[in-house]
Amino acid sequence: MHKSTLIQVFRTLTKKDIRELRKFVRSPYFNQREDVVRLFSYIDEVWEKDESLLNREKAYAHVFPGQDYDDPWMKSVMHFLLNCIKQYLALSELQSDEAGVQLHLCRAFRKRGLDKLFEKEMKNLGQRQKKQPYRNVGYHYHNYQLQLERYEYDHRQRRSGRMNLQELAEELTIFYLADILRHSCTVLTARSMSQQDYNLELLEEVLRYVERSPVRQTPAVAVYHQAYKALAEPEEEAYFTQLEEWIEAYWQQFPPDEIRDIYLLAINYCIQRLNQGQRHYIRKAFEFYRRGLDRAVLLEGGILSKYTYNNVLMLAIALEEWEWAAGFLEQYKENLPAKERGNIYRYNLAIYYFQKPDYGRAMALLQQVTFRDVLYNLNARRMLLRIYFELGEYDALESLLDSFATYLRRQQDLGYHREHYRNLIHFVRRLLNIGLHNKEERQELAKEVERKKAVAEKDWLLKQLGC
């Protein structure tokens, strides 16, 4: 039962979802099966105590008391309950788009010939659109749908005189241009991280049109147009400067999830430039992160991802913003994902002390960290390796090298990281065997390290060898 699709979906439900579903499954409009109600009640009751106690046979006994267990029938009831929950989730998504719901209501009134009600709802919807704060892609899509509904109504009435075709075309144009530019930015980011290519038909025509059209001043078009130009031609820094200005001017006109993506586009540009050796983009990336945190646009449902938490810390350390970094780690600790919060916090605090350097505190924290994330695990072991070596904790280092090598052998999907860390372990063992005073062997080992391309902590190894 634990591996069933029903339980997988159940795990994602919030407390509010559960409360609403208690009413939903009992509504004859959505569900007329009493066995579905009883199965939901069983899962709901057991879930509050301990999910691990869920059991198909016990569930069946609750749903069909006094009857022998029938697995096909049990699967059937689970299927019906799953469909009921799917309905609830779909309806919840629909209801979360209030403007969309109101538009559907207008359409229903139009189709039923309820002209006065249609006009009233259309007026309310138009006023609502003007008052809402966002002017993003979704805003123009809703406006296009609104204009389309108005056209369908006027066309049905066979009215003479001016139709709203111009307004309809303008909203459709802005929506299409902004959306294709947004998608193109996503494609450019994806290209920078993989070898896969994507064919963006009509993009060149879109770019040429936007350059000569007043539509480029519309916030949704302006931001994505400038973001695309900056990502496509990163060496033209004027494009990025203009993007910074547009983001600062329009960030409040985008909903949280969309402005977060825009901030990340700008940050990805900074990282791209950093990788090209433009070190001054460390400060720019840091400032984008800092503004994003101050404005809460980098939080998703109040949660800060562990990757953002780490990225911000590393940039702050690179800028030697030690006091700010320490405050950041504490301030956003409670915003980390609950299941990993302690590990993520200790891991990043260990990095903070490791870089200061305060190896004693870093070591104590790293010894408390357990990670499923492979890259975090590798990085924690790498830091411990350096700490043990530099503090002369050679017994602990030997033990770590053995366990590290075992981890590399057993862990799947390490990719190129496996070779980098195997070589690190190999060279550290060689360094330990040579000792401090055999100058010729140390020089020879340094040459080997220099020649080897795939070595983690290569600069640190060479430093230990006196290079």
Mean pLDDT, rounded, of the chain? 93
Residue 438: predicted pLDDT: 76
Whether residue 340 is found in the same domain as residue 395: no
- Answer yes or no: is 102 within a domain: no
Instruction: Report the interhelical angle of 374-391 vs 341-355 (nearest 10°).
Output: 40
Are both 175 and 256 inside the same structural domain?
yes
Answer whether residue 111 is part of any domain: no
pLDDT at 436: 65
CA distances from 19 to 6, 11, 176, 446 (A): 17, 14, 39, 65
pLDDT in tens, 52-67: 888 899 999 999 999 9
The pLDDT score that the predictor gives to residue 158 is 73
Q: Is residue 40 part of a domain?
A: yes
Instruction: Please report whether residue 113 resides in a domain.
Output: no
DSSP per position, 383-432 = HHHHHHHHHT-HHHHHHHHHHHHHHHHH-S--THHHHHHHHHHHHHHHHH
pLDDT < 50: residue spans in the chain: none
Helix 165-193 × helix 203-212 angle, to 10°: 120
DSSP string, 275-324: HTT-TTHHHHHHHHHHHHHHTTTT-BTTB--HHHHHHHHHHHHHTT-HHH
Q: For 174-227, what is each residue's pLDDT tens digit?
A: 999 999 999 999 998 888 776 677 888 889 999 999 999 999 999 999 999 999
Whether residue 361 is found in the same domain as residue 460: no
Q: Does 266 share its domain with 151?
A: yes
* Model confidence, pTM: 0.83
Number of separate domains in the chain: 4
Whole domain around residue 306: which residue ranges? Answer: 299-370
* Domain end residue (candidates: 96, 122, 156): 96
pLDDT recorded at residue 195: 67
Residues 154 and 37 in one domain: no
